[in-house]
Structure 1
Amino acid sequence: MAKVGVSRATGHSGGRMMIKCEHPQHKTKPKYICKESDGCSERKNPGVQDEWMENGDVSLYDDTRAGVLMVFFRELKAADAGTYRCGVNVSHYTESFTELQLDVEDDFSMIIIICVCVSLLLIGGFTLTVCKLRHMRRGRTSTSNKRTKNIISSCADSRRDSLTDPGSAQINSHDELPTIPSDELLYASVSFQKHEESLSEASVTVSKNELYSDYATVSRRMRLN
């Protein structure tokens, strides 16, 4: 049994990992992997070549074209850490292998990073919400103040107009008042003289809207109040 090389790999607990054990000088020879720290009591090999096969908690692929045994850990555990032997059976009596040191680290740093990222997202979301609420409140306050200013300005304009032209209101209100009868001319007396050509008795007809008479002239005398 001959050791032809030493390599090292590091993985994280709960993660996946691919290990390649290269034997280019023995491409078609059957290959295996075992945990040397356990005395290689259990050898894992694909059993077939050029196909993926599952063996326990790993998947194996013996690539005869490249002379490589690929070992895929689907989920690393702390117990997977240790020294491995990636071997190839050269003959019934001879083996060749590469020593592999596999380290599995607990991913406390990743948990911390995730926690920090989540905390930052929460803080950012809270800050954004507060800023949005403040902006909405300022918008409502600005709208309310603008409406109040418009109302005050309108009232001031109306008051300014009434002070600038006070006579307009008086004239308008005066126009709507009823006519005082005493403002018109009143006649104290009316004298009638008969027209010479009239053949009938003289008559005077007074109606609401007109005055008709058979007399030739009507003399008016004004009465002053």
Structure 2
Amino acid sequence: MKRSSDNELTWNHLQNEIKRCRKCGARCLSGVQYPDARVPVIEPRAVKLLFISEAPPLNSQSYFFNERANDRLRERLFGILRDDVGSPIETLADFVAAGFYLIPTVKCPSMREMHNTAPGGSVIQLCADAHLSRELTYIKPAGICLLGRTALRGFLALCEQGHVHMQDASKLTRNVSDVAGTLFGAELAKINHSVMVIPSYWPTRRHRKYHTIGEHIKLLMAAIDF
């Protein structure tokens, strides 16, 4: 598959390349499910704080950017922004207009025994190199909040691949609980763009750390004067 040069990056280029991507299949990486359709996403503009999530669900029509379908991630993140951060976010238009955005670490869902499962390490490495790195170059956020273990592993992959320079990158090899709430300075290597990064938890009912995630978001917002 011919890939657009980074000198001619547009959001449509990036998203179309993701739609056509079959790299995991070519490398025989098991469990990856190419979605039949993808919900069009709003183009990021003037993003101050970027959330990096894990991976889409098997039903890709019910993911973050489809407001006609219920999505637990969207509902919980918007609730945290309203209740704990004080941002009046009700819709995706509010979310983007306020300077927020969200992208998944891995662009396709993974499946085991007909259920969603976390992406494997090889899938995370491959997708970070092929797509996540280029999305970050395009978006140029001031701050990044890593939601959960897959996002943490994806950002570590970017550091190991040279897409991101971060002095304390070795700390990202720890468990999420060991680094959650810690601010890191980093640089997007291709464009020499400085960014602040904070790992946090995945917003799930299992651990109910919603208020803690909110505190982490506020720490990051203060660090980037948001």
**So what's the TM-score if we normalise by structure 2?**
0.20
Select the structure that is richer in helix.
2
- Looking at both structures, which has the greater relative contact order when contacts are Cα pairs under 8 Å and sequence separation is at least 6? 2
**So what's the TM-score if we normalise by structure 1?**
0.20
Find the structure with the greater CA-based Rg: 1
